[in-house]
């Protein structure tokens, strides 16, 4: 969607403009953290340590979000204008990078407690899904993440709404599985990342007006194109997340009493 009459600013405080994009991102983070910290009460863990771990995970997630955005959309900044990389308010962030870097940072801090790591990662899914949903709405106000033009009568693909709907699907799926099957530790997170990669790679990237790499195919009638950089990364991401989701079903991680990890999960069906 390209709506030039929309202002990216919600309001101004003197010379400083507050972006809708930033407001939506903050709301998603707060909503996700609220759910996460509510569920963390089920674990017998030091809340101060978990708060510190969460803080550094968010920081590295933001770094990863910017790095992947630049690599996927404007890699020329690296050698032409490196300072532009630091201007996070110009260009945007990539949720794939946020999840990837954030997960790695979180694992490095909790690798000695696999059950705690897996269970908490499950509880991050609602926050991740809300972030995808709300940040894509923010992209509409920022006039970015545009879809390709088509000849089908509706002009440009509403790429932001396509991306936002992916977040909504992941959110509904999470709570459906929570109510229906009580999945083992780790399954919710890895399976959500698997389906995110499927939906993003097949639908989001195909209709999004992104640069193409190595293979350059564009159908101007349908307004689709491939292969983008993120689509090249989709197969290995699917292989890894699919394996981890399968493994979480087959190798149930038991909480260890010496780690104070809470109640054991139900056996995988």
Kindly provide the b/e burial profile for residues 18-48, where b requires at least 16 CB atoms within 10 angstroms of the residue's own CB: ebbbbebbeebbebbbebbeeebeebebeee
Phi-psi region of 45 (alpha: psi -120 to 50; beta: other; left: phi over 0): beta
25 contacts 135 by C-beta, under 8 angstroms: yes
Q: CB count, 10 Å around CB of 174?
A: 21
Give the separation between CA 32 and CA 114, rounded to whole angstroms: 21
Give the separation between CA 253 and CA 249, rounded to whole angstroms: 9
At residue 132, what are phi and psi to the nearest 5 degrees? -60, -45
249 is in an annotated binding site: no
**What residues are designated binding site?**
136
């Amino acid at each position: 969607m390209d709506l030039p009459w929309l202002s990216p600013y919600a309001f101004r405080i003197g010379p400083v403009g507050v972006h809708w994009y930033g407001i939506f991102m903050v709301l998603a983070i707060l909503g996700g953290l609220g759910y996460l910290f509510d569920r963390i009460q089920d674990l017998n863990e030091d809340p101060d340590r978990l708060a510190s771990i969460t803080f550094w995970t968010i920081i590295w997630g933001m770094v990863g979000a910017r790095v992947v955005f630049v690599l996927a959309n404007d890699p020329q900044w690296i050698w032409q204008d490196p300072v532009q990389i630091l201007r996070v308010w110009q260009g945007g962030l990539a949720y794939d990078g946020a999840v990837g870097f954030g997960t790695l940072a979180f694992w490095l801090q909790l690798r000695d407690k696999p059950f705690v790591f897996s269970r908490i990662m499950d509880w991050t899914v609602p926050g991740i899904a809300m972030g995808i949903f709300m940040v894509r709405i923010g992209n509409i106000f920022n006039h970015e993440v545009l879809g390709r033009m088509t000849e089908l009568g509706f002009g440009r693909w509403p790429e932001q709404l396509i991306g936002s709907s992916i977040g909504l699907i992941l959110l509904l799926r999470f709570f459906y599985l929570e109510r229906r099957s009580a999945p083992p530790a780790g399954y919710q997170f890895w399976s959500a990342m698997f389906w995110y990669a499927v939906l993003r790679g097949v639908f989001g990237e195909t209709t999004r007006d992104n640069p193409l790499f190595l293979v350059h195919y564009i159908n101007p009638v349908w307004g689709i194109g491939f292969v983008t950089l993120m689509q090249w990364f989709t197969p290995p991401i699917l292989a890894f997340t699919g394996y981890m989701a399968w493994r979480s079903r087959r190798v149930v991680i038991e909480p260890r009493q010496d780690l104070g990890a809470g109640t054991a999960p139900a056996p995988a069906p």
